[in-house]
Structure 1
Amino acid sequence: MTSTDTATREETPSAHVGPRFRPDIEGMRAIAIGLVVVYHAGVSRLPGGFVGVDVFFVISGFLITGLLVREVTTTGRVSLARFYARRAKRLLPATGLVLIVTVLLTWLTVSAVRWREFGVDVVSAATYVVNWRLAARSVDYLAEDVGASPVQHFWSLAVEEQFYIVWPLLLVAIAWLLRRRPGLRPRRVMAVGIAAVIVPSFAYSVYLTSANPATAFFVTPTRLWELGIGAFVAIGATLWTRVPRVAAIVLGWAGFVAVVGSGFLLTTEVAWPGYAALVPTLGTAAMIVAGYTSGRAGVAGLLSWRPAVWVGGISYSLYLWHWPLIVAATAYWGELSGWWGLVVMAVAVVPSWLSLKLIENPIRFAPALSRSNRLALSVGGNFTAVGVVAGLVLVLLVPSTSAPAVTGGASGSGVSGAGALSGTSAPAGTVDSLAEVEGYVPSVVDAEDDVPPYPEECQVDQVSPDPVVCEWGDTEGDLTVALVGDSKAMQYYSPLDAIAKDEGWRIVSMTKSACGFHDGMQVASGEPYTSCAEWNDAVVENLLDLSPDVLVTSERINDALTDPTDVTTRSVDAMVEAMTRQWTTVTEAGIPMVVIADNPSPGDVSPVYECIADNDGDLAACTFDRERGTADSGAAAQLPAARAVEGVRVVDVRDAICPRSRCVPVIGGVLVYRQTSHITDTYARSMQATLAAALVPQVEAATEDAEGS
């Protein structure tokens, strides 16, 4: 989606025929916004509606570059002050208004545990850097509970504004060159300049889309070429007036079919943007080019239909308003059907039209702002500040605690955590025990941050296939324990570090987000997790070279693909077989193994802290069945695999996390779960004695067996 100016006589690029209104451009905007809002409404028959964003990128590049080209060719210069003043008064008032309303809707409908995250999102949206924040979140395993941000749609606006930092500056340099070398042809030089943006951006887009599609979707370098295509069309405007009418008619309709067909035929399974984005972007460029000479017989005739022009006129406003309303409606009523999503989209038209008429246009066309670039920039800056303040207010509204405060931590200060499960007559860890809970740590709003304090680089992200080796515990210890697996292995970092220091163990860890220790193929982000498979191969080589005294592993994922290329073939049996093969390779090399059985998964009540917040602190509403939680956990594959491989021992501390048939969210004054099925670091610390009692004998026995063999 874009923030392009409405196509008015003042702001539409000319084709050496003077400024003229292009109603077909507004029709293209109508198609683009229609694709986006129907897709966001959840209508399954339009699985590729996301291509509307790409259509807008091309239109934006065309319109804005047309203005700049006309300025360079007529004056020989580019006024950056006038350019940015025009952008500021066009975009920022509506942005500030929408962000204020978005914060209010978030406060009213979204769980308090999300306010801090979303408040920072609002600040990022107001300053047009939210795309980078979303890109970082897309590969952050710990961010998988966050859900859709109410300002997620601002990513495309951020991309566009970042493009319009670079492109005008490049045109300033080109204008300077043309003044120094008057014999050069301006449009040819500008074409070379934009090609210098398009070519490397497209190449990088293809590469990153293949290597890391989640990041590629949001980051600016993978999208610049799409805006560049629109800019290239604007630069070549004098050529398009010579296109024969028949050819223009064919070209325009072909572009229309490419764009609309993409919306119906593409799905989210197609890696995007990459080379696939050429279809809607070139289709849009074709329609723009055709509009110069095709006349009413071409697609321009359809696109100039008055209702389409009207929708195109409010497209920017509608894009700003529709997504926060969808997020708020979903938070309040739950998942919306396609029909109810369309109802919300229809409702969004009302504030879109009102904001255009009452806020955007009055400010945009105010005579005082047209006369003074400084005043226009000041007004825009004030609306940006309003958006920033709104986001900060949402952060400040986050309650310091959502339950009566409990002083101290899990070690000897009144909060016992797992320690409450032993030596007491009360049924600790049961649903009945929840009635006695007066407070707990961490609070639900702090649960996400209650993570193990291991260095960030020790947990490889989902992109890299290269293991990172970290040493901790007693780094001078005589016994080497290798810890391998995903974040479920590292959730025990704090107690393991303390145990290792007590026992004289040197821990060497190699862990990767959402990647277990096996030789199968997992799924991540709906795609085969190839970097996990490559990482596993490298880890096995490292282990054989290191030859640790014992290998400890744990993981969350319990299924793998029977066909490594088909994500529909996942099964627990495939994971058991993959674990069995990998573990056999290691044990036959003389490395004994200890498997820490994964804890039960909360399933429908995950994230547990959000469940508590959404149920007014009702802890009993956030319990879940242990048997089902175990079936959903990594233990469903770990335990049968361990039985199948000689020399593999199991450490089962699940009773310290869920001691009864129903798992509870608070034990001994400590919130048990943080993100998905991970336990809080506070609770993990409280398990130190329990984990040591189970793990130390197994490690000692494993090493004795290895020495005796």
Structure 2
Amino acid sequence: MATTRTPTSDRTVVTPAATPAYRTDLDGLRGIAITLVACFHIWFGRVSGGVDVFLTLSGYFFIGSLLRHAVHSQSVRVSYWDTINPWPRLKRLLKRLLPALFTVLVAVLVLTVVVLPQTRWANTGHELIASGLYYQNWYLALNSQDYLAASSANSPLQHIWSMSVQGQFFVGMLLAAVIVAALIKLIATVFAPIARPTVIRVIVGVSLLGLAALSFYWAHMRMEVNQQWNYYDTLSRLWEPLAGGLLAVWMPSWRVPRWIRNSATVVALALIVTCGWWIDGVDAYPGPWALVPVGATVLIIWSGAVAAERAGRGRHAQQDTSLPAVNRMLASTGPVWLGTIAYALYLWHWPLLIFYLSWRDKNHANFVEGVVLLAASIGLAWLTKRYVEDPLRNGEAPTLPRPLVGWSRRRWFGYTSLVTTILVVASIVGVAGIQVWQRHVTTLAVDTKNLDPREFPGARALLDNAPVPALDPQPTPLAVIKDFPETSTDGYMSDFEDPRIHVGIYGDPAASRTIALAGGSHAEMWISALNLLGQRYHFKVKTYLKMGCPLSTDPVPRQNGVPYPQCHDWVERVIPMIISDKPDAVFTNSTRPRDDGPGDWTPTDYTPIFERFTGAGIPVLGIRDTPWPHNAQGLIDTPTCLAEGGTAESCGTQRWAALSATDPAAAYAETNPLFHALDLSNGVCTPDLCPAIVGNIIVYKDWHHLSATYVRSLTDGLGAQMGRAMPWTVGAQP
């Protein structure tokens, strides 16, 4: 940053420093990073570390630009309004980010309607809005915690989370820079030294260092608390772009022998290229292990900075022999070209992959398919940059196709206006369509309580050999996702963060006998049958339920791999409450699927709970958990599988893979006379298969919960088993 003294005044006037030499080698590093991201997504299904490279580079360039603005704004030639006005820079930022993003979002909207089943439209619609408004990372974080939400694991917009983090970082840093610059300019009127470039650098550097340290601590600490949330958390990710930003504020000018810089950059690039194989980024980032790609990026930036700035030959870095060999390689034509389309390529590659896999009903692309997808992504990225990004960002005409070469300047203005209008109109129409669809889904009602059992026998087809006429199943795949048990719709299920115990009353509220239904959602789903049995045979059902919280003594329960201490606390409070209420029996789960192999088991932390009830003289009805649908490719979302054209068989689960040969709780029942094992597996599965549709009723409403409609078809079978254990539950007199 240059300073001059005017002849008529002793006041120092700060003039804008020359723009730093352009780093084509960093364009090349972007190209390498996007190649890694795309290849790891397409072929390896892992996190490559490329996103962390992007974040670091973004921080380096953006904070460097803001620092130059903060210093230049102290010039007497810059008005106070120009100092505090963020719009010019924000406008440039929007012109750089939005055209390509909205082009891809419009394409995703169209392809969603064409390719994806209706069961996925609602979630994709939410994500389209979240992506366009730059809060996709928060949407995914919240969605991963939502027990009743459809999975976003294969969302065509999942990758936009990093764009949202960057957008939030850009806007936050821009506003912070404007505030700091305004305060410095105001204070400088009474204390001029604060406006010196060196002082400004110290203020900015210390502030960024403190914020980066806080973010790094937060990211490390939250890994053990909730890594799913931590992965998307802006505060946890903030230290990565700030690491690059700190380099823009303070670039060490150490005189290091060239051979050391060469060796260091070789190691740095090797770490960036390989870290995706030996670091599990999903579980490790943005914690300390993210220092590998971030630190390697910082090292590459630094290694070429001194030589590039001193020689002023950044635009010819490939021939600049003062640069390390790695930097010169990165500045070569191929990596640099990829770097220029990196943003658009990042936006395109993931949706193309997901839509292709959905269209082909596959979970992975083979080598040839991956090459075609990558080539298509590169082609679309180039077209997007050439005919959308560049025109709307710079207002410069691209090389047009031959029929359009003769267009005049006036016509060219019409072209840019046309592109802008198409994006704006398509976005408005898309958002309006999403809202209309959301209203349709919201008002969609599931009314299957009065289905004719002769036409829709459900479980009776397996338990009683009831005939099954040729009819479309109920509820439909779109409606079944809302086929909740009564306790969910009535508000008697505590959510993850709710510590309260919500007690519901079902069956016959005036009855003298009571069954306590307790546990998590896999206990809750039986209320639809228990409610009917209670009404029929005059017993009361009291519910004590919490999401994802089966009754166990596990001191550190987990939900989807995330520590769930609220569950343990809730269980410790609900058990004494149930015992003090003195029910005639407790109905709860007795098994769960094995995590490390086929079949199911009774966890050792379940039986102490059973003993607490039976020790108080309260019988326990232990219901065997139903299969969690899956196949060799992984878990099955039954409604989506059926909506995509799957059948009862293709969307079903092999019985041997989900259930052990006998009920694992039966052995415990033999040792505890007050424990009664209930097993309705034969009402869900044939001897070989657990189908997705039984007796013209869809069995599951999501990944692993029975639909309320199907549970009602199990009422007679459940009543028969309960009656053998406790005759009063089916109206028998003692």
- What TM-score, normalized by structure 1, do the two folds share? 0.80
1:178 aligned residue: 184
In 1: Cα distance, 2:525 partner to 2:381 partner = 46
In 2: Cα distance, 1:476 partner to 1:172 partner = 67
Following superposition, the deviation at residue 64 of structure 1 comes to 1.4
In 2: Cα distance, 1:361 partner to 1:663 partner = 54
2:286 aligned residue: 273
Q: Which amino acid aligns with 1:218?
A: Y
In 1: Cα distance, 2:20 partner to 2:116 partner = 47
Q: Rg bigger for which structure? A: 2
Q: Does 1:444 align with 2:471?
A: no
Q: Which amino acid aligns with 2:345?
A: L
In 2: Cα distance, 1:120 partner to 1:69 partner = 36
Change in 2 beyond 3 A, CA 1:421/1:269:
closer
1:300 aligned residue: 327
2:468–2:695 Cα contact (<8 Å) kept: no
Following superposition, the deviation at residue 201 of structure 1 comes to 2.2
Which of 627, 638, 644 pairs up with 1:614? 644
Q: Does 1:205 align with 2:219?
A: yes
1:513 aligned residue: 548
In 2: Cα distance, 1:100 partner to 1:178 partner = 43
Following superposition, the deviation at residue 433 of structure 1 comes to 5.0
Change in 2 beyond 3 A, CA 1:417/1:497:
farther
1:10 aligned residue: none
In 2: Cα distance, 1:254 partner to 1:16 partner = 33
2:100–2:384 Cα contact (<8 Å) kept: yes
In 2: Cα distance, 1:313 partner to 1:245 partner = 31
Q: Does 1:158 align with 2:158?
A: no
Q: Give a deviation string over 1:170-212, Cα, whole Å, max 9, x none.
A: 1111111211222222111222332343233222222222211
Change in 2 beyond 3 A, CA 1:218/1:387:
farther
Which of 180, 193, 205 pairs up with 2:207? 193
Q: Give a deviation string over 1:545-573, Cα, whole Å, max 9, x none.
A: 6424332212673226xxxxxxx6x6868
Following superposition, the deviation at residue 664 of structure 1 comes to 5.1
1:417–1:670 Cα contact (<8 Å) kept: no
| Greater CA drift, 669-678 or 354-363 | 669-678
Q: Which amino acid aligns with 2:594?
A: D
Q: Match of 2:34, SS? A: helix
2:19 aligned residue: 18
1:99–1:390 Cα contact (<8 Å) kept: no
Q: Match of 2:676, SS? A: strand
In 2: Cα distance, 1:572 partner to 1:63 partner = 54
1:675 aligned residue: 702
Q: Does 1:128 align with 2:134?
A: yes
| Greater CA drift, 325-334 or 391-400 | 391-400
Q: Match of 1:106, SS? A: helix
1:672–1:683 Cα contact (<8 Å) kept: yes
Q: Which amino acid aligns with 1:507?
A: K
In 2: Cα distance, 1:223 partner to 1:523 partner = 24
Q: Give a deviation string over 1:19-62, Cα, whole Å, max 9, x none.
A: 42101211221221122111101237xx541x111111111111
1:637 aligned residue: 664
Following superposition, the deviation at residue 86 of structure 1 comes to 0.8
1:28 aligned residue: 29
In 2: Cα distance, 1:429 partner to 1:697 partner = 16
Change in 2 beyond 3 A, CA 1:169/1:85:
same
Q: Match of 1:674, SS? A: coil
Alignment of 1:100-115 (within 5 A): 100-115=106-121
In 1: Cα distance, 2:269 partner to 2:500 partner = 49
Change in 2 beyond 3 A, CA 1:592/1:263:
same
1:248–1:289 Cα contact (<8 Å) kept: no
1:608–1:674 Cα contact (<8 Å) kept: yes
In 2: Cα distance, 1:379 partner to 1:79 partner = 28
Q: Match of 1:675, SS? A: coil
Q: Match of 1:181, SS? A: helix
Q: Match of 2:586, SS? A: strand
In 1: Cα distance, 2:16 partner to 2:271 partner = 25
Q: Does 1:483 align with 2:511?
A: no
Instruction: Give the number of equivalent residue pairs.
Output: 655
Which of 354, 364, 371 pairs up with 1:336? 364
Q: Match of 2:163, SS? A: helix
Q: Match of 1:150, SS? A: coil
Q: Match of 2:476, SS? A: coil
Q: Does 1:66 align with 2:64?
A: yes
Q: Which amino acid aligns with 1:488?
A: H
Q: Match of 1:296, SS? A: coil
| Greater CA drift, 345-354 or 439-448 | 439-448
Following superposition, the deviation at residue 351 of structure 1 comes to 0.8
In 1: Cα distance, 2:42 partner to 2:452 partner = 49
Following superposition, the deviation at residue 345 of structure 1 comes to 1.6
In 1: Cα distance, 2:85 partner to 2:424 partner = 22
Q: Give a deviation string over 1:444-482, Cα, whole Å, max 9, x none.
A: 1122122224359865667x6x96422011689765644
Following superposition, the deviation at residue 318 of structure 1 comes to 0.6
Q: Match of 1:240, SS? A: coil
Q: Match of 1:553, SS? A: strand
Q: Give a deviation string over 1:396-439, Cα, whole Å, max 9, x none.
A: 679989xxxx99833336477876776xxxx68899955521x4
Which of 262, 278, 281 pairs up with 2:275? 262
Give % identity: 24
Change in 2 beyond 3 A, CA 1:499/1:231:
farther
In 2: Cα distance, 1:308 partner to 1:664 partner = 51
Change in 2 beyond 3 A, CA 1:32/1:504:
same
| Greater CA drift, 245-254 or 160-169 | 245-254
1:517–1:555 Cα contact (<8 Å) kept: no
1:684 aligned residue: 711
- What TM-score, normalized by structure 2, do the two folds share? 0.78
Change in 2 beyond 3 A, CA 1:381/1:54:
farther
In 2: Cα distance, 1:408 partner to 1:538 partner = 31
1:112–1:399 Cα contact (<8 Å) kept: no
1:240 aligned residue: 252
Which of 571, 579, 596 pairs up with 1:539? 571
2:9 aligned residue: none
In 1: Cα distance, 2:721 partner to 2:253 partner = 80
In 2: Cα distance, 1:377 partner to 1:453 partner = 53
Q: Does 1:557 align with 2:588?
A: no
Q: Match of 2:148, SS? A: helix
In 1: Cα distance, 2:187 partner to 2:255 partner = 30
Following superposition, the deviation at residue 88 of structure 1 comes to 1.5
1:430–1:662 Cα contact (<8 Å) kept: no
Q: Which amino acid aligns with 2:40?
A: Y
Q: Match of 2:219, SS? A: helix
In 2: Cα distance, 1:290 partner to 1:408 partner = 63
1:597–1:639 Cα contact (<8 Å) kept: no
Q: Does 1:628 align with 2:686?
A: no
In 1: Cα distance, 2:455 partner to 2:624 partner = 20
In 2: Cα distance, 1:179 partner to 1:680 partner = 64
Following superposition, the deviation at residue 349 of structure 1 comes to 0.8
| Greater CA drift, 674-683 or 354-363 | 674-683
Change in 2 beyond 3 A, CA 1:120/1:263:
same
